[in-house]
Structure 1
Amino acid sequence: MIASSTLQCLFVTLILFLHAVESNKPESDQGSVGACSGVPGIPGSPGRNGLPGRDGLKGDDGMKGAKGDTGPKGSLGQRGSMGPIGIKGEKGELGPQGINWKQCVWKRDDDTDTGLIQECVFKKRHSSTALKVAYAANMRVQCSSGGCCGRWYITFNGAECSGPMTIEGVVYLYSSNDNPLRHREIEGFCENIPSGLIKVAVRVGNCQSYGVSDRYSGWNSVSRIIIEEYPQSHT
């Protein structure tokens, strides 16, 4: 059913239209003809979303902010557990410092027949090295009858070398008329000696199966002991 207000609007519009036709001035009241509003139509369906627009231009970088204050130092963390023991490295050789060596020299006539002739204290750096010892001097034996012998040997802290063998030399005399005062030398390497201060000494004594005889060391010349530390041999 059409509302009364709508009917009134249509009636008024019709009268105005007829009046305009009679007066032959339809243009004068054209604005009044459409004075009544029509019935609201049904809302249309929403349109589709448009395509995404293009990205805008990149803006300028902002100003660098001020440096912040350093925070407080954190507390010390717990100590971690001990890692596994590493593999033992290979045995190294003596470094570039050179060979560790020492020389002890003296000049005296020593007529000791049995016992210590001279001692030389040496500081050994490493327990894995060997010591080379050389003793040089005039050495002789003499006896009233044929067949006498003297043995000169080296000791380390009072004991003879056992690695690999002793360092020694012997002088034998067959004729009682000879007095063989000649320069002689004995030398050798000794292994398995600990590091530290080592008392290296030259001593004289009896040969095996021979008794005491008249022995002489260092007659009228210089005697010497030379000690050198070398990498230990594995042969």
Structure 2
Amino acid sequence: MNAGPTFQCLLVACILFLDAVESNSPKSDQGCVGASSGVPGIPGTPGHNGLPGRDGLQGEKGSDGMKGTKGDKGDKGAIGKTGPKGNVGANGQMGEKGIKGENGNDHSINWKQCTWKREDHKDTGLIQECVFKKRHSSTALKVAYAANMRVVCSSGRCCGRWYITFNGVECSGPTEIDGVLLLQNTVDNPARHRQIEGFCENIPSGLIRIAVHVGNCYGYGSSDRHTGWKSVSRIMIEEYPQSQK
């Protein structure tokens, strides 16, 4: 008699019985004696996904990456709007006012020239006078005298001195304005055109009588002197800012 199917039926019944017992009571070491392994059951339905886990710990800071290459230069931006107008600056200091001329403006030069043409045989005394209007007390006067001058002596030495005065007094600021002509033992008549000039300071403003005189040299007596022989003589006067010492 073939016992295969019967045995299998008994085995399945035993397994079902044991599953029922395990679900309601503690496990028992007892089982179907002499039973063999059954056929694998059908896979059950997959369970639901579990809840998300907690965030893990923050990792350490990584090292800096390599420096990237410089990008291309962009186009120049548009020009901005003009800003508001600034405040007006303070006025600068006024410069020093120039010397005012007789008929000119403040920057013209105050000057004068007196000329004449005659021969003067005076050995001593006044040759010519020129009146000048000085505008400022702080300025200096430049005076130049040009003429034909000569001195003659038949023996020994002879000397003549031509000098400038201001209101009858020689200049003392800084010193006299003069020229001398020395001659020794000659019968010649050395008539020559000559010029003397210089600056005089510390002269007040107003009308100044500037004059040319002829006289003796220091240490010498009188001699034969002539002034202005066959030539134009002149006195030239200019007003200048006084020098800074």
Q: Name the TM tier (shorter chain).
A: 0.5 to 0.7
Determine if the alignment matches structure 1 residue 143 to structure 2 residue 153. yes
TM-score in terms of structure 2 length: 0.58
Q: How far is the alpha carbon of 1:225 from its aligned partner?
A: 0.3
Determine if the alignment matches structure 1 residue 94 to structure 2 residue 99. yes
Determine if the alignment matches structure 1 residue 210 to structure 2 residue 220. yes
Q: 2-side partners of 1:177 and 1:146: how far apart?
A: 11
The answer to whether the 8 Å contact 2:99/2:110 transfers is no
Q: How far is the alpha carbon of 1:174 from its aligned partner?
A: 1.3
Q: How far is the alpha carbon of 1:92 from its aligned partner?
A: 5.0
TM-score in terms of structure 1 length: 0.60
Paired residue total: 147
Determine if the alignment matches structure 1 residue 183 to structure 2 residue 193. yes
The answer to whether the 8 Å contact 2:115/2:233 transfers is yes
Structure 1 runs (4+) greater than 4 angstroms displaced = 89-93
Three-state SS of the structure 1 residue aligned to 2:146 is strand
- Residues 210 and 90 of structure 1: CA distance in aligned 2, closer, same or farther (over 3 Å): farther
**2:116 — aligned with what?**
106
| Residue ranges of structure 2 left out of the alignment (5+ in a row) | 1-93, 101-105
**1:3 — aligned with what?**
none
Q: Residues 192-226 of structure 1: CA distance to partner in whole angstroms, max 9, x if unpaired? A: 00000000000001001100000010000100000
CA RMSD of superposed structures (Å): 1.6
Q: How far is the alpha carbon of 1:94 from its aligned partner?
A: 2.6
- Which residue identity does 2:218 align to in structure 1? Q
The answer to whether the 8 Å contact 2:98/2:108 transfers is no
- Structural mapping, 1:123-142, within 5 Å: 123-142=133-152
Q: How far is the alpha carbon of 1:179 from its aligned partner?
A: 1.2
Q: Max radius of gyration: which structure?
A: 2
Q: How far is the alpha carbon of 1:91 from its aligned partner?
A: 6.8
The answer to whether the 8 Å contact 2:147/2:233 transfers is yes
Determine if the alignment matches structure 1 residue 152 to structure 2 residue 157. no
| Residue ranges of structure 1 left out of the alignment (5+ in a row) | 1-88
Q: 2-side partners of 1:219 and 1:156: how far apart?
A: 25
Q: 2-side partners of 1:97 and 1:226: how far apart?
A: 20
- Structural mapping, 1:164-203, within 5 Å: 164-203=174-213
Percent identity over paired residues: 73
- Structural mapping, 1:9-48, within 5 Å: none
